[in-house]
């Protein structure tokens, strides 16, 4: 970003329904939000969220693992596609693949993910199912910075959701997603407006140290 008054450029990665991405698209209608989704990229051509992005006139593209000879080639292609849109922040909103070294090297510290459990409890692809099976009475959602591990990055924000006795994976996930959409939209907005700092495992949003690449030449 070369103008500190311009909205931060968000590139959003999705794999599915895209309801979290939609929450960010709706939040950015507020001119004070401070960020704008400049591209939506999916690893799946059939991700329903791609249509939502198109309805919002946001450019979309698909980088499918099956179109590449191996995982490394896909990782490189994904990083290049993200970089093409010059993101200030990369937002994984229901992106169901691990981010590889090419993206971590280029955008390290500027990639956020959201997970449907209170990390470090229940990481991985089945956070809701695992919380239910584990007998948790409270679970929730976590927005975290992405590192090389599976849901192991420093935690930026969390919100709790009560588990009900008659919950199924689907009913619990829907209740989490309602809270998660607001948490992601609000957290991304705060990060781009106020900056953030990381000290070990601890993330502070609103510190004076800006992590965005903002060159104040306005
Ligand atoms: C969200 O609950 C998100 O936390 C989860 O996928 C859902 C996306 O829903 N992501 C993961 O589990 C990543 N490990 P959406 O497609 O409707 O935004």
**Strands, DSSP E only, in the chain?**
8-14, 35-42, 60-62, 89-92, 111-115, 138-145, 155-162, 196-199, 202-205
> pLDDT value at position 207?
65
CA 116 / ligand 1 centre spacing (Å): 7
The question of whether 115 is a catalytic residue gets the answer: yes
Looking at the whole model, is its pTM more than 0.85? Answer: yes
Q: Identify which of 180, 103, 107 has the alpha carbon closest to the alpha carbon of residue 139.
A: 180
Q: What is the pLDDT of residue 5?
A: 77
Asked if 94 contacts 53 with a C-beta cutoff of 8 angstroms, the reply is no
d(CA 51, CA 62) in angstroms, rounded, equals 12
Nearest ligand 1 atom, CA 116: 4
Local mean pLDDT, 10-residue blocks, the chain (218 residues)? 76 98 98 98 98 98 97 98 98 97 96 98 97 98 97 98 98 98 98 96 82 52
The pLDDT of residue 44 is 98
What pLDDT is attached to residue 2? 44
How much distance in Å is there from the Cα of 215 to the middle of ligand 1? 33
């Amino acid at each position: 970003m070369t103008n500190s008054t311009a909205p931060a450029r968000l590139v959003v990665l999705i794999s599915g329904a895209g309801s979290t991405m939609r929450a960010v698209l709706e939040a950015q209608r507020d001119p004070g939000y401070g960020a704008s989704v400049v591209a939506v990229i999916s690893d799946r051509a059939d991700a329903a969220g791609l249509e939502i992005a198109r309805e919002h006139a946001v450019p979309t593209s698909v980088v499918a693992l099956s179109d590449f000879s191996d995982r490394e080639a896909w990782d490189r292609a994904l990083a290049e596609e993200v970089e093409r849109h010059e993101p200030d922040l990369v937002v994984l909103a229901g992106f169901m693949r691990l981010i590889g070294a090419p993206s971590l090297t280029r955008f390290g510290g500027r990639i956020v993910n959201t997970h449907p459990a209170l990390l470090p409890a229940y990481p991985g692809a089945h956070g809701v199912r695992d919380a239910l099976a584990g007998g948790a009475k409270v679970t929730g959602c976590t927005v975290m910075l992405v590192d090389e591990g599976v849901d192991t990055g420093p935690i930026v924000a969390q919100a709790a959701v009560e588990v009900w006795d008659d919950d199924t994976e689907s009913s619990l996930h829907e209740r989490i997603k309602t809270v998660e959409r607001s948490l992601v939209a609000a957290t991304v907005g705060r990060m781009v407006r106020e900056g953030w700092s990381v000290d070990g495992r601890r993330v502070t949003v609103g510190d004076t140290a800006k992590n965005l690449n903002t060159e104040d030449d306005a």
